Structure 1
Amino acid sequence: MIQFDPLTYPYPSQRTATYARNGMVATSQPLAAQAGLEILKRGGNAIDAAIATAACLTVVEPTSNGIGGDAFALVWTKGELHGLNASGPAPKSISIEAVKQLGHDKIPTYGWIPVTVPGAPSAWAALSERFGKLPLTEVLRPAIEYAENGYPLSPTLGKYWELAYNKFTKAFDGAEFENWFATFAPKGRAPRIGEIWKSPEHAKTLRSIAETKAESFYRGELAEKIDAFAKQHGGFLSKEDLAAYSPKWVKPISVHYKGYDVWEIPPNGQGLVALMALNILKGYDFAAKELTETYHKQIEAMKLAFIDGLKYITQADKMSVTVEGLLSDTYAASRRALIGDEALQPEPGEPARSGTVYLATADGEGNMVSFIQSNYMGFGSGIVIPGTGIAMQNRGHNFSLDPSHDNRLEAGKQTYHTIIPGFLTKDGKPVGPFGVMGGFMQPQGHVQVAMNLIDFELNPQAALDAPRWQWIEGKTVELEPHFPEHIALHLARKGHDIKRPLGSGGFGRGQVIVRDENGVLSGGTDFRTDGAVAAW
């Protein structure tokens, strides 16, 4: 297992990891982490705790996710890793032609057009049915109570809520958006830090999902309400789309990286990008004293992986190349050969053809869960279904209207998806779940955190606290404020176009839990959010 040595990395964290034995929940909101821990103490397992935490996050962090979003999970239980893809497809009635006839040359960000079938409620039900110990009614109880009785906003939550409100007052123009303001700005403004916000309609919806095991959302009263509101405002989504949907259990994909197996969900998720980058990087030896070269090679590998991902990733059976081809050692070697001393202008290769929340949980029985859930771009589409508190996602925004693109819009098709859970194993045994939320930062965060754990032997907290970079496009790379200046200058001399945005808001927010050979859990949570590790 990972043996942590903080002296191998020159920028030690000022915070320590959390250690426990019986159970642990790490996520971006203390109230949600405590909700998951509460379920563990009631006799639930790590799967129950993950569901409870995820449902609670739709209430206590609506700026990043909601009931109308998607979800993915990696579940370690009984000696095996299972993958769940709960991302929904485009409506059956939509098409490139239909969108263009409405006057659009690309998928809009807000409104009904980018709304795809939400998968999050189906994920909760599927996980509970297959692996849970407690009834869904009990597991969702903490979320229902917070929605019904309210809670005070935490600092990072309040900041992003206000930013969203200020943006939406300018961006939202139409009756279809009125329910967003009624739900999330009931006083005619964003709720303030420390102020109580509640949503009884949200509580009612969660109760219905719990009592029917999500049937009401896909084939019942909630589906009827979604269908009626979509019809009222010219949306493509219908109750038939909802009724036809079910999440898919999938076989996780991996690469072997320096003694460890790094696991991701297969496409349509972008976890493949992280694996392609690690497959390139495994050909190098890294040392903390040579961090400049480490960062340079990380950035170059990520560029090459991302440019391929953006070209090829879509619903798996719609890809023009194979996952196996993209992850082959031969292809990785050909891409690695392109990396030199100067920053690249990346181009796609030719392999062999054929606003998000993250949480990690573990229990004393050996179960571990890596779970991610999102509406996308903060609150999502701006569509809130009247009387339900359901904020709908805008995942369809990632589709292309170019008929020749792999990720072109098609009826019933899943789009390129940004949210990805990660997991580490070694010699067939679980090391633990990890993840970094934040749109296209996510695979970049996965690579950096995984390498911090494996190459530099950092503990989970230090692995998250280390300064991050983010490739944007071309040769442009953004660095966090606490990224060392001397390394930034060296990267600039190598041809990287270095930018330093204010704050760390765009560099992702992660969580990590690691189990050692004695069953001891160590966890870390990101300082870039209101994160917490709840443990016992």
Structure 2
Amino acid sequence: MDSRTEKPVMATKTMVVSPHYLASAAGARMLERGGNAFDAAVAVSAALAVVYPHMTGLGGDAFWLTYSPGEGRVRAYNGSGRSGNAVSRASYAGEAAIPRRGIRSAITVPGMADSWDAILREYGRFTLAEVLEPAIGYAAEGFPLSSDQRSNTLAAGAALSAEAAAIYIPGGTLPAAGGRFVQKQLSATLRCLAGGGRDAFYKGAIAREICKYMQEAGGYLQPEDLAAHQGNWSEPLAAEYHGHTVYQAPPNSQGFAALMGLNILEHFDFGTIADGSYEYYHLLVEALKLSFRDRDKVLTDPEFSPIPLERLLCKKYAAELAGSISMQRAAELGSEPMGRDTAYAAVVDAEGNSVSFIQSLYFEFGAGIVAGNTGILLQNRGSFFSLDPGHINTLEPHKRTFHTLMPAMAFRNGKPAYLYGTQGGEGQPQTQTLLLTRMLHYGMNPQAAVAAPRVVWGRTWGELTQELKVESRVEGRVLAALAEGGHRVCVVDDYDGIMGHAHAISIDDNGYRSGGTDPRCDGAAIGW
């Protein structure tokens, strides 16, 4: 491994990690001005909605894990939206599935703006207008377009509506990486949000423009859908793993799948398993396959169908699953293809306030449509609903769908030890498990953990097989052993973007913070 990818940013008081350096800088700016981790996190989130628009935006969702030393507890905020009241399976009569792009895929209310308001109201020192200042500046004045945005625009540009293409491919010409990218409409919308607060988005001028566009374009969301939206605080899920308490957001997040995986892995001795070996990759993949099998049977909006978490997270059940794993042969299991385009970030401040959060439009550029003159790309998260009335995640009005977003925290002795997460749909539980085991069992710092060679199992949209994608940096003998063990090995590039963009913060027993950002993206760790 290139030694430059192993060196973490270390600090004594603060740390911000995100997939774009300008977003990390926005968070650092809040901390320098006297804000706390919650102010900084919302500033990072808003900046990402501008400088990483292909991955996230005001038209999408967000999930949060928060910790305040004064409270001494972890809380989860579900910032995901529900389907419109006028949307049902009958809306797609005669169709096999909900369209993946376009106006008829944009059927869930964007939840991110509400989550910003909730985080700041509960814990922030600054106003929404103050934390939106960097994002507004980036949108109005422009910023250097990232190579990641350019490559995603090149790959998905054909899916953009004419209005969206006018913004992201102005004049029909793909912008050059490093060129100035301006979003005047989005800057005006952010100013409106800063001045009018949450209600501007869900009941005021922004809501009216979104719904006007919906009506004209044949969409399903209505003013009452936005007006009724409310995210919610909840207790996170937790599992004990080798002296650490690992927290995940509850359903409709898939976070419990990662906890199931850790419960299974607890039955194996990592002291006898080398990092990067056949045994390491095989075991992690096989453990997560088993948790995915159960996840796919039960995960949906828990208000519509109960989810047996007590059984799924039971240590006895994990022992049974662990006993079913063959170390010589890959199990023949499948799962649904999922979108993977997401942005994860985390912040820790000098007081110990900690925020782990993740946000997304689902596919790159979401539904591929911009809502009127708002500059807001709408998400296509609702396209993951099933039209099969017998499916656990079947489409119904006012329902949250199965959600891939899952920020993570791990505590040691009652205090945050690791904040971590990644982009990547099906890859999120897998990469999170790689990160945690590498930091915890092999002593890797966050930068080394996110930069180490990765694998990811599953299939994305359009693929016919359940492949095990493996970066070419993995040793040849390991690749051969994985193939011999029954994995459908597909070798991809070094630091391949298909592995997602992972980031992590660790806090040692002295309180020192170490930050790592993925060399596969445009991120930065900033601390002091």
Band the TM-score falls in, shorter-chain normalisation: over 0.9
The residue correspondences of 1:381-530 to structure 2 (distance < 5 A) are: 381-472=367-458, 476-502=467-493, 504-530=496-522
What one-letter code is carried by the residue in structure 2 that aligns with 1:442?
Q
Q: Secondary structure at the match of 2:421?
A: strand
Give ranges in structure 2 of 5+ residues lacking alignment.
Answer: 336-340, 460-464
1:301 shift after superposition: 0.7
Which amino acid counterpart does residue 246 of structure 1 have in structure 2?
Q
Residue matched to 1:352: none
Contact 2:334–2:466, Cα closer than 8 Å, also in 1: no
Structure 2: how far apart are the matches of 1:158 and 1:97? 38
SS of match in other structure, 1:390? coil
Identity of aligned residues (%): 39
Whether 1:67 aligns to 2:58 is yes
Q: Does 1:57 align with 2:44?
A: no
2:174 aligned residue: 190
Amino acid at match of 1:465: A
Give me the whole-angstrom Cα distance separating, in 1, the residues matched to 2:304 and 2:482. Answer: 38
Which residue matches 2:285? Answer: 299
Shift of residue 12, structure 1, vs aligned partner: 7.5
In structure 1, C-alpha distance between the alignment counterparts of 2:212 and 2:304, rounded to whole Å: 31
Aligned to 2:84: 91
Matches within 5 A, 1:260-409: 260-287=244-271, 288-289=273-274, 291-340=277-326, 341-346=328-333, 355-409=341-395
CA 1:184/1:159 → structure 2, altered by over 3 Å: closer, same or farther?
same
- Count of residues in Structure 1 that have an aligned counterpart in Structure 2: 511
| Alignment-derived partner of residue 193 in structure 2 | 209
Q: CA deviation at 1:14?
A: 4.2
Cα distance per residue 1:447-468 (max 9 Å; x no partner): 1111111121211111111111
SS of 2:171's partner is: coil
Check the 8 A contact 2:214/2:220 in 1, yes or no. yes
Matched, 1:124 2:111: no
- What is the RMSD of the two structures over their aligned residues, measured on CA atoms? 1.7
- Is the Cα–Cα contact under 8 Å of residues 72 and 419 in structure 1 kept in the other structure? yes
Shift of 1:403: 0.8
What one-letter code is carried by the residue in structure 2 that aligns with 1:493? E
Alpha-carbon displacement from aligned partner over 1:328-360 (angstroms, at most 9, x marks no partner):
112212211210121111379xxxxxx211111
Say if 1:303 and 1:219 are closer, same or farther in 2 by CA, change over 3 A. same
Which runs of no fewer than 5 residues in structure 1 stay unpaired? Answer: 1-9, 349-354
Q: How far 1:11 sits from its partner (Å)?
A: 9.8
Give secondary structure in 2 for the equivalent of 1:491: helix
2-side partners of 1:14 and 1:64: how far apart? 23
Give the drift of 1:178: 2.2
Answer yes or no: is the 8 Å Cα contact 1:13–1:461 preserved in 2: no
Pair 1:304–1:132, CA change in 2 (3 A): same
Q: Which amino acid aligns with 1:342?
A: R
Q: Is the 8 A contact 2:334 2:458 kept in 1?
A: no
Structure 1 partner of 2:338 = none
Matched position secondary structure for 1:400: coil
User: Quick check: 313-322 or 279-288, which moved more?
Assistant: 313-322
Q: Please say if residues 83 and 400 of structure 2, whose CA atoms lie closer than 8 Å, have aligned partners that are also in contact.
A: yes
TM-score of the superposed pair, with normalisation by structure 2: 0.94
Find the aligned partners of 2:77 and 2:479 in 1 and give their Cα distance: 39
Q: What is the one-letter code of the residue matched to 2:77?
A: L
For 2:75, the aligned partner's letter is H
How many angstroms apart in 1 are the aligned matches of 2:303 and 2:143? Answer: 44
Give 1:108's aligned residue: 99
In structure 2, distance between residues paired with 1:338 and 1:429: 34
Segment of structure 1 superposing worse, 178-187 or 230-239: 178-187
Structure 1 residue aligned with 2:462: none
Q: Does the residue aligned with 1:113 lie in a helix, a strand or coil? A: helix
Which TM-score applies when normalising by structure 1?
A: 0.92
Say whether 1:150 aligns with 2:142: yes
Q: CA contact under 8 A between 2:5 and 2:519: conserved in structure 1?
A: no
Shift of 1:320: 4.8
3-state SS of 1:319 partner: coil
Q: Distance in 2 between matches of 1:436 and 1:148?
A: 28
Distance 1:195 1:476 in 2: 36
1:95-128 C-alpha deviation (Å, 9 max, x unpaired): 112212xx42101111122221000100111101
Return the alpha-carbon distance in structure 1 between the equivalents of residues 64 and 371 of structure 2. Answer: 26
Instruction: Report the secondary structure of 1:500's partner residue.
Output: strand
**Cα deviation digits, residues 422-453 of structure 1 (max 9, x gap):** 11101221113110112221111111111111
**Cα distance in structure 2, aligned partners of 1:397 and 1:440:** 16
1:255 aligns with 2:239: yes
Q: Secondary structure at the match of 2:448?
A: helix
Letter of the structure 2 residue corresponding to residue 128 of structure 1 = L
